[in-house]
Structure 1
Amino acid sequence: MVQHNFKSITVVPNGKDLIDIILSRTQRQTPTVVHRGNAIATIRTFYIRKVKFTQENFCEKLSTMIGQFPRLDGIHPFYGDLLHVLYNKDHYKLALGQINTAQKIITKIGVDYERLLKYGDSQYRLKCLKVAALGRMCTVIKRISSSLAYLEQVRQHMARLPSIDPTAKTILICGYPNVGKSSFINKITRADVDVQPYAFTTKSLFLGHTDYKHLTYQVIDAPGILDRPFEDRNIIEMCSITALAHLRASSILFFLDISGACGYSIAQQANLFHSIKSLFMNKPLIIVCNKTDLQPLASISEEDMKLVMEMKAEAFKTVVGQGGEPTDDDSVLLTMSTLTGEGVIAVKDAACERLLNQRVEMKMKSNKISGCLNRLHVATPKQRDQKERPPCIPPAILEAKAKQPAADKEKRKTEKDMENENGGAGVYSMNLRKNYILANDGWKEDILPEILDGHNVYDFMDPDIPHKVEELTWEEGTRQAEAEDGNFEIEGTELTPKQQAALAELRKRKSFLIQQHRMKKRTAGSRPTVARKHDKDKQYTSTRMGRQLSSLGLDTTLAIKRMRSRSVFRRGRKRGRSLETRSTDGGDRMDIDGDKPSKKQRLSRSLSRGRSVPRLPIEVVPGEGFKDSAQKSKARELAKKSVKKRNKDARRGEADRVIPSLKPKHLFSGKRSIGKTERR
């Protein structure tokens, strides 16, 4: 099978991540320390190894990228043109070309600096050459960052493409948008293509598989095509054109919506058929009239019927032109309805049979069949006598089948069958009460049961509920009308003119305060916060409130006393006071009504109100299980030490510049003498 597994392409890192990966690998896998007493030749080898290792790693990464991405000239033309439609072949080749050029430049940089490092005469010059070499390599990678990002986007899109085999037996569905192509592939395969009542729901190729005569056929749902010039078609339509042009071993199903529910007339669909009929050459073609549940084929107008007959004649000419047998021309025009399922299996079987016959005829015409016929021998058994031997069924099986009740022989109707009969999913609602076990089957559909928990439900219902609801509604409407007219009442008594004036003044004042508060909220961002002691206006004091309410003729003594008691309570909470009312024996009772405590009581309360001291981390709390503070301190240190390594390894990745051991033994120990090497 000629398949291209685009999902196996590895992730393409961006420029910064690629630099971090290579430099981190160089740091980890090459020596990192030069000793003071080393000879200049050893130091040259040290830095040459660094440069060469970095250059080889860069080239290895870049060559892997180039090798994994497919060459458009070396794959099947279907995939080549599909990738050109989706990503633009020129941009794709240019990005791969830049990666290849960067690989060659890095190789040249490594060779040049390796030559220069051979003639370095000091450690300082060798280190400068090494830094310059690695820097130039990283600069090359930074310049191709845009190409790396483009290839990563292409890789992600290619991984989502379906695995279509261009040489396998294929049924290709095409036509205008919203004519029922996706519904058909969902019916005959296990594909789950989104179906919506608007055009261009399918924006790419979708693949499904079906079986016919023990053979597997792949079914491709192509996006809709519009009748317009070739150069005006978009990427979605070009995917369908590419599949029609390059999938040779395919049977074409051209869908025709004769009801007009798709938004396009039969004349427009006929024009599309004639404009792309050149793509149907050498392929079995069937015209499928869909949505016959909305309008049968026989009920369309004469003009539309004439267009359909012309399309049928063209399809029949295509069959005869391919060298096939001129069968009944009704086989190239079929009707079906994907909603009711009528004719769906017949269309699938006809497409598979036509494709199978065509492939058999092509193989019979080829030269390979002659070699196969020489090796085949069909054995036919000869009849030894004239006695007839009909098939024998054991009598026990016949008796068991006869005793089987008729109800078991019939297929039981399931909820799925009832759903299909009554409009399908979203229309049919399953009755959950039909399987209730009740004394009377007539109770199953009752909205409210007659008997509940042994009581008659009707005994607890008030028959005057509708009348009372109407009275409440009328009363509410009357109150709203009176409120709009300004006739205020308090407990059934109308307000006096003086009270009405006072109420109007209060409402006016309330409206003013609301507007003032909203203005403050709007300007809160630019207005500085002023402490309460600097509020010269003193707008919200109890004295001012009492003065304003007294001017309206109201007694404010109780309100002011309540307000002051609340302020005392809040200040006490802020300072950590306790307002618990103790017994008279304790002598520490604060009367909220305004009685001041004695001097002795105030002194004792101030002494008991000391500031709380924070507990130290190593202080032992009863119940923790520690003997003393030293034991708790030691346990805390051991806990920190146990999680230190896990915290360091928690987020370590390939690109992290990590030195596992700050002082490795083989770099900080002397030369081994002759003797034991157990340490190794």
Structure 2
Amino acid sequence: MGSNTLQHLCHQLPYSALLFTRTNLYKGLYPIPRMKIYPLCFTKQMQTTTYEVVKGSYLETSPTKQENKTKDTAPVTLDTVGAFQKLPMVMPSVDILHSALRKARRVTPTKGIANAAKREKNKGAKHLDALMKELTLPLRTYKENFPNKRLLHPYERSLIELTLGDGNYEQVLGRVDSLRKKVVSVGKELASLCAQSTSKREAEERLAEGLKRLEDIYRSDGKAVDELMQIAKTLRAMPVVDLEMPTLCLVGAPNVGKSSLVRLLSTGKPEICNYPFTTRGILMGHIALSYRNFQVTDTPGILRRRDEDRNNLEKLTLAVLANLPTAVLFVHDLTGECGTSPSDQFLIYQEIKERFSSHLWIDVISKCDLLEEESPILYVTENAEDDNSELVKYRKFGPDGALRVSVKSKVGIDELKIRVHELLASQSERLNIQKPEDTKEASSPRKIFI
């Protein structure tokens, strides 16, 4: 019965009828004996019960079920990029063990215990309990402060999967937490046994046995902590990408000259070598333009093959294009030096262009000082009489509108910088348009992905 119904009934009865009654024997009013009067109070914080129809009947809905339903329908709030830089510093497992043993030795028995046996078993129980807590405190910190991969930004989630291997991150965190639970369980059991000792000697023996057992458990399973330390180092070294900053992503086949262009265009200093897959990760640089900073990323080269056959380096490049709001500078090498034939580069280019058609785009032909327009390079696997007019045209001139540059002779570099600046300005306008109005003035907005 709701509060409105109760109020309605009370208004129908006179207040005096609740307190008094009349009689024919006596004139006037008299109180009803043995009747207690309670005031009626109505508040907004009334407990309510909800029901649901099940097979034609009303069944009460439990609060737990309602809470779970609310949690299931709530959107999941994901962090923006930068989670890796917030990872806690992980100590080597041997350092954690030695520190815990040293601190546990400082434990003294409770003051005022005169009996030697009781004092020893009290000290032993406290010693084991202290060791258990000192060992598990760092592990609990790691468990709580390493982010759930499911709640990471898709870009950083891809970095974890492609850099560490699918599932390895969760497995290591799970093993660290299992070690914590095991130490807690065994430590409590050993402390309890020591507290139940009947003599001083028995308490000392149980303390020694307990210390050895906890140390053996930690040494045996502590490798997970060392693996987590390496994971933290690897992830913390990953480049941070600002989602609010316009970004230029250099893409192309291996060894076409992407890294050399990054060195010219930005503050990034990638490794320059003449072999495939020189870039073994995402390299980040910055461009200063009109008192504003822009990002430039160098990505691993892409080969002509199906997605399921690609290595993790190629998948990393695709993850950047798929998950970050980047403009694309696609680099083509028609000289034959890079190791990927122009025909294969043409097919790679068509695939990437079609897949990421919404990205702003610039095409660049590198090493133009080595090109001979009259006789384009042909690989053994290529057919000079190929009737594909687009491919024939591509071998000689590259894509329509492509800019020819040479890092060695500086040909086209100034024009390339102008084109890049224009592209990044357009990218900046696009990001401002796509950004919600209520977050444009926020200093550190958070994005929600459902």
TM-score, with length taken from structure 1: 0.47
Residues 251 and 298, structure 2, Cα contact 8 Å, conserved in 1 = yes
Aligned to 1:293, the other structure's residue is in SS state: helix
Residues 251 and 352, structure 1, Cα contact 8 Å, conserved in 2 = no
Matched residue, 1:292: 368
- 1:335 aligned onto 2:413: no
Matched residue, 1:638: none
Aligned to 1:89, the other structure's residue is in SS state: coil
One-letter code aligned to 2:100: I
Matched residue, 1:349: 418
> CA–CA distance in 1 between the matches of 2:130 and 2:185?
14
- 1:47 aligned onto 2:124: yes
One-letter code aligned to 1:306: K
The alpha-carbon distance between structure 1 residues 197 and 108, as it changes in their structure 2 partners (threshold 3 A), is closer
- 1:261 aligned onto 2:337: yes
> CA–CA distance in 2 between the matches of 1:188 and 1:299?
31
How much has 1:191 moved relative to structure 2?
2.3
Matched residue, 1:3: 82
How much has 1:227 moved relative to structure 2?
0.8
Matched residue, 2:301: 224
The alpha-carbon distance between structure 1 residues 90 and 362, as it changes in their structure 2 partners (threshold 3 A), is closer
Residues 364 and 404, structure 2, Cα contact 8 Å, conserved in 1 = yes
Matched residue, 2:151: 74
One-letter code aligned to 2:259: S
One-letter code aligned to 1:360: E
The alpha-carbon distance between structure 1 residues 137 and 345, as it changes in their structure 2 partners (threshold 3 A), is farther
How much has 1:366 moved relative to structure 2?
6.7
**Aligned partner (choices 394, 398, 401) of residue 307 of structure 1:** 394
> CA–CA distance in 1 between the matches of 2:220 and 2:435?
55
Task: Structure 2 unaligned segments of length 5 or more: list them.
Answer: 1-79, 378-388, 442-450
Matched residue, 2:350: 274
**Aligned partner (choices 401, 405, 429) of residue 360 of structure 1:** 429
How much has 1:97 moved relative to structure 2?
0.5
One-letter code aligned to 1:10: M
How much has 1:96 moved relative to structure 2?
0.9
The alpha-carbon distance between structure 1 residues 67 and 167, as it changes in their structure 2 partners (threshold 3 A), is farther
Q: In angstroms, what is the RMSD of aligned CA positions? A: 3.2
How much has 1:65 moved relative to structure 2?
2.8
How much has 1:23 moved relative to structure 2?
1.1
How much has 1:263 moved relative to structure 2?
2.5
Residues 265 and 417, structure 2, Cα contact 8 Å, conserved in 1 = yes
Matched residue, 1:133: 210
Residues 258 and 297, structure 1, Cα contact 8 Å, conserved in 2 = no
How much has 1:38 moved relative to structure 2?
3.7
1:336-415 alignment to 2 at 5 Å? Answer: 336-361=405-430, 363-364=432-433, 368=437
> CA–CA distance in 2 between the matches of 1:245 and 1:365?
17
One-letter code aligned to 2:91: V
> CA–CA distance in 1 between the matches of 2:124 and 2:436?
66
How much has 1:268 moved relative to structure 2?
0.9
> CA–CA distance in 1 between the matches of 2:327 and 2:418?
11
> CA–CA distance in 2 between the matches of 1:23 and 1:367?
54
> CA–CA distance in 2 between the matches of 1:127 and 1:178?
68
The structure whose Rg is larger is 1
Residues 110 and 119, structure 2, Cα contact 8 Å, conserved in 1 = no
How much has 1:312 moved relative to structure 2?
4.4
1:650-661 alignment to 2 at 5 Å? Answer: none
Q: Deviations over 1:657-678 (max 9, x none)?
A: xxxxxxxxxxxxxxxxxxxxxx
One-letter code aligned to 1:18: I
Task: Structure 1 unaligned segments of length 5 or more: list them.
Answer: 314-329, 373-680
> CA–CA distance in 2 between the matches of 1:365 and 1:61?
42
> CA–CA distance in 2 between the matches of 1:284 and 1:129?
71
Residues 254 and 285, structure 1, Cα contact 8 Å, conserved in 2 = yes
Moved more, 91-100 or 338-347: 338-347
Q: Deviations over 1:135-176 (max 9, x none)?
A: 332232133233233223323333432233344321100101
The alpha-carbon distance between structure 1 residues 34 and 297, as it changes in their structure 2 partners (threshold 3 A), is farther
How much has 1:339 moved relative to structure 2?
1.4
TM-score, with length taken from structure 2: 0.69
> CA–CA distance in 2 between the matches of 1:366 and 1:101?
42
- 1:25 aligned onto 2:103: yes
> CA–CA distance in 1 between the matches of 2:120 and 2:415?
81
The alpha-carbon distance between structure 1 residues 202 and 220, as it changes in their structure 2 partners (threshold 3 A), is same
**Aligned partner (choices 103, 106, 111) of residue 188 of structure 2:** 111
**Aligned partner (choices 89, 97, 104) of residue 174 of structure 2:** 97
One-letter code aligned to 1:21: S
The alpha-carbon distance between structure 1 residues 131 and 89, as it changes in their structure 2 partners (threshold 3 A), is farther
How much has 1:231 moved relative to structure 2?
2.2
Matched residue, 2:312: 235
How much has 1:95 moved relative to structure 2?
1.4
How much has 1:238 moved relative to structure 2?
2.4
> CA–CA distance in 1 between the matches of 2:406 and 2:302?
21
**Aligned partner (choices 212, 215, 219) of residue 292 of structure 2:** 215
How much has 1:206 moved relative to structure 2?
1.2
How much has 1:112 moved relative to structure 2?
2.5
Aligned to 1:110, the other structure's residue is in SS state: helix
- 1:244 aligned onto 2:313: no
How much has 1:5 moved relative to structure 2?
4.5
Aligned to 1:208, the other structure's residue is in SS state: strand
Q: Deviations over 1:289-324 (max 9, x none)?
A: 1111112668759765533799847xxxxxxxxxxx
> CA–CA distance in 1 between the matches of 2:335 and 2:423?
27
The alpha-carbon distance between structure 1 residues 37 and 4, as it changes in their structure 2 partners (threshold 3 A), is closer
> CA–CA distance in 2 between the matches of 1:153 and 1:240?
23
The alpha-carbon distance between structure 1 residues 366 and 67, as it changes in their structure 2 partners (threshold 3 A), is closer
Q: Deviations over 1:244-285 (max 9, x none)?
A: 22112x111110012222232221101111233354232111
Aligned to 2:182, the other structure's residue is in SS state: helix
One-letter code aligned to 1:126: A
Relative contact order (alpha carbons < 8 A, sep ≥ 6): 1 or 2 greater?
2
> CA–CA distance in 1 between the matches of 2:435 and 2:155?
24
> CA–CA distance in 1 between the matches of 2:370 and 2:239?
34
Residues 334 and 395, structure 2, Cα contact 8 Å, conserved in 1 = no
> CA–CA distance in 1 between the matches of 2:346 and 2:88?
43
Residues 12 and 151, structure 1, Cα contact 8 Å, conserved in 2 = no
One-letter code aligned to 1:245: A
Aligned to 2:370, the other structure's residue is in SS state: coil
Residues 337 and 343, structure 1, Cα contact 8 Å, conserved in 2 = yes
> CA–CA distance in 1 between the matches of 2:421 and 2:355?
19
Aligned to 2:218, the other structure's residue is in SS state: helix
> CA–CA distance in 2 between the matches of 1:349 and 1:67?
47
Residues 92 and 225, structure 2, Cα contact 8 Å, conserved in 1 = yes
Matched residue, 1:151: 228
How much has 1:24 moved relative to structure 2?
2.0
> CA–CA distance in 1 between the matches of 2:299 and 2:193?
60
Aligned to 1:73, the other structure's residue is in SS state: helix
One-letter code aligned to 2:415: A
- 1:120 aligned onto 2:186: no
Matched residue, 2:261: 184
Matched residue, 2:47: none
- 1:85 aligned onto 2:162: yes
> CA–CA distance in 1 between the matches of 2:425 and 2:261?
20
One-letter code aligned to 2:99: I
How much has 1:359 moved relative to structure 2?
4.0
1:498-577 alignment to 2 at 5 Å? Answer: none
